[in-house]
Amino acid sequence: MIEKEKLDKTYKELLEEKIINHLAEVKGILIRQAMDIYYKSKLAQQINDGSYGIENMDYRYLVQDLMENEPGLFL
């Protein structure tokens, strides 16, 4: 049986991958740039912490939220 912690970690890693790929696609930037933006964001910390159940939201919504609420990351 897979331990819940390992399953949660894997799920979060896959979510982060989807967020980064979608961010790169939407903004027309390189994956590396999208990674830098994502890992500097409050969103990354919230997902890591499991705050507000945010890790259960759709990655497309989370990318939109990131662009709207953290525009300073895109300068």
The pLDDT of residue 1 is above 80: no
Calculate ∠ Cα 68-51-60, nearest 5°: 40
Whole-model pTM: value is 0.91
- Rounded to an integer, the average pLDDT of 57-66 is 97
Distance CA 69, CA 47 (A): 15
- Rounded to an integer, the average pLDDT of 37-58 is 93
Residue 52: which region, alpha, beta or left (left: phi > 0; alpha: psi -120 to 50)?
Answer: left
Residue 29 C-alpha from the chain's centroid:
15
